[in-house]
Amino acid sequence: MFSSNTDIRRTLGDFHIEGMILRYSRFMPKLYNWCKSLGFEAGKIVPSRAFCSDESQGYPIILIAKHFGAFPFNHGRVGGIVSTGRHGPHAAHGKDMLIIQASHVGYDPQTGTFGTYRRLQTEHNCNSTNCGKISHTLAWYQQHYNFAKDNILLEKLGEDFLIHIDNQILKQDKAEGLFLNLELLVEPDSNGQLTPLRSRSTAKTYIAAESLVQRVGSERWPQDDTITIGDDLSAELFRFKHEISDDIEGPNRLEQNLLPAMSWIVTSPEPMLTAAQVNTQAEFDRNYRSIVNEPGYQGKNLVFIAGLNIDISPEPGQLFPLTKFVPWAAYVQTADGSHRMLEQQQLFDVLQQQPDENPDSIDLEQAIHIMEEAREVPVNTPQRPGKG
């Protein structure tokens, strides 16, 4: 998905949050009405969701069932990963198809920060990470980044701007870890080599690159003293290498999605939000291609929409989060074979044009009541061999 630092910066910058947020209670009827406008038939639509397994995703699932009249097919794995092997079974279950993919992130309105969610079912209603899968994936990278921030030192000695770099960070033959883009940190010598000025017991000292001095600001270099580089170790200055192992569900697709953008994620003011955005972008790109090539979807009306679920913790008296949706992109195909892509602004505008009321929505309580009152249907089990 990403081929350069410039690509990463542009792609992340194109995923806008402000001005693009829809409450799920408005998003679902708008999405349903849009599908109807495309020729989808009421009562023949099989929605599918690729959400994380967190309980915070339950409210959106309830609203999908309410507005589409069918409990959504489960297309997802933990972290909001789409299981492409489920395309065929999904396609066989209905006439018109809808797939909603969404990574999710918690939001604390009291602090205005992303990444946590209040769990009502815990003993003390405590806040914990949300999405936990994303948080767990980021932890290793954040640990290495924090070590580098604390063990790269800046010093001004006379007129020279120096940078002291811990040997562990400099080590190039390590199998995995954080690797510096040293040419952006160190001024080359007269031969064009990145040669240390001197070696210390656990670090090496270099003349700092002029571009680094300008980026950090010359006034930040202390005279005859050192400070850590801290947050001035920006995303362009390093990269990660990590052997991605399988998890319990197989290949760790979430980490594969995040790794190319990981230096941008860990340096973000909101790493959990940025990671969820990256995963949504990567999953749409990957799964659009798998959907196009799925035989079961040929000749069907289909909408594949991807975005971000923002889980706002429930207030006292609320059972569910005030979940909001930020659309990213959509792929639309119709039964006659035509197809098109909608980018974020186009998608948001199309949804905003749809009515907020859904005349076909179902009363879930009434539907459950009908089933409770339904005539009992006996289930005749086959007799086991040898029994008589």
**pLDDT tens-digit readout, 103-155:** 999 998 888 999 988 777 766 677 778 899 999 999 999 999 999 999 999 99
Taking alpha carbons only, the member of 263, 286, 253, 250 closest to residue 180 is 263
Q: Where among 224, 241, 258 does a domain terminate?
A: 241
CA distance 157 to 39: 72
C-alpha closest to that of 136 among 58, 52, 74: 52
Mean pLDDT value across the chain: 92
Q: Are residues 231 and 186 in the same domain?
A: yes
> Does residue 47 fall inside a structural domain?
yes
| Same-domain status, 20 and 81 | yes
Give domain status of residue 21, yes or no: yes
Q: What is the pLDDT of residue 1?
A: 65
- How many H helices and E strands in the chain? 12, 19
Return the pLDDT at 292: 94
Determine, yes or no, domain membership for 124: no
CA dihedral 75, 343, 42, 99 (to 10 degrees): 0
Q: Find the domain containing 110 and state its range.
A: 5-115+270-373
The number of domains in the chain is 2
Q: Is residue 262 part of a domain?
A: no
For residue 128, what pLDDT is reported?
78
Q: Is the domain of 106 the same as that of 181?
A: no
Average pLDDT over every residue of 93-105: 97
**pLDDT tens-digit readout, 320-332:** 888 999 999 999 9
| Residue 295 confidence class, pLDDT cut points 50, 70, 90 | very high
**Confidence label for 384 from pLDDT (cuts 50, 70 and 90):** confident
pLDDT of residue 183: 96
174 domain residue, yes or no? yes
Find the largest Cα–Cα distance for the chain. 100
User: Residue 388: is its pLDDT beyond 60?
Assistant: no
* Whole-number pLDDT of residue 336: 92
The last residue of one of the domains, among 241, 260, 290, is: 241
Instruction: Give me the pLDDT at residue 126, please.
Output: 73
The angle subtended at Cα 127 by Cα 314 and Cα 265, nearest 5°, is 105
pLDDT for 382 equals 85
- Per-residue pLDDT tens digits for 156-192: 999 999 999 999 999 999 999 999 999 999 999 988 8
Instruction: Please give the Cα distance from 31 to 305 (Å, whole number).
Output: 10
Same domain? For 107 and 145 the reply is: no
Structure tokens at 276: 């969820």
Confidence of residue 93 (pLDDT cuts 50, 70, 90): very high
User: Is residue 135, in this structure, part of any structural domain at all?
Assistant: no
Task: Decide the pairing of beta strands 96-108 and 113-114.
Answer: antiparallel
In a shared domain, residues 236 and 289: no
pLDDT in tens, 338-353: 999 999 999 999 999 9
Q: Is residue 123 assigned to a domain? A: no
Return the percent helix, strand and coil in the chain, to nearest 5. Answer: 40, 25, 40
Do 274 and 366 have their domain in common?
A: yes
Q: For residues 34 and 99, state if they share a domain.
A: yes
Question: Is residue 37 pLDDT above 70, yes or no?
Answer: yes
Tell me the pLDDT tens digit for each residue of 265-283: 999 999 999 999 999 999 9
Under a CB-based contact definition with an 8 Å cutoff, are residues 308 and 272 in contact? no
Structure confidence at residue 36 as a pLDDT band (50, 70, 90): very high
187 in any annotated domain: yes
Is there a single domain that holds both residue 165 and residue 226? yes
What sections of the chain are H helices per DSSP? Answer: 5-13, 24-37, 58-68, 87-91, 132-151, 167-170, 210-216, 253-258, 262-266, 271-292, 344-352, 364-373
Convert the pLDDT of each residue in 190-219 to its tens digit.
888 999 999 999 999 999 999 999 999 999
Q: What is the pLDDT at residue 296?
A: 96
- Do 276 and 175 lie in one domain? The reply is no
Question: How do strand 45-50 and strand 96-108 relate by DSSP bridges?
Answer: parallel
* 296 and 337 assigned to the same domain: yes
- Does 152 lie in the same domain as 107? no
Q: Rounded distance, CA 178 to CA 242, Å?
A: 9
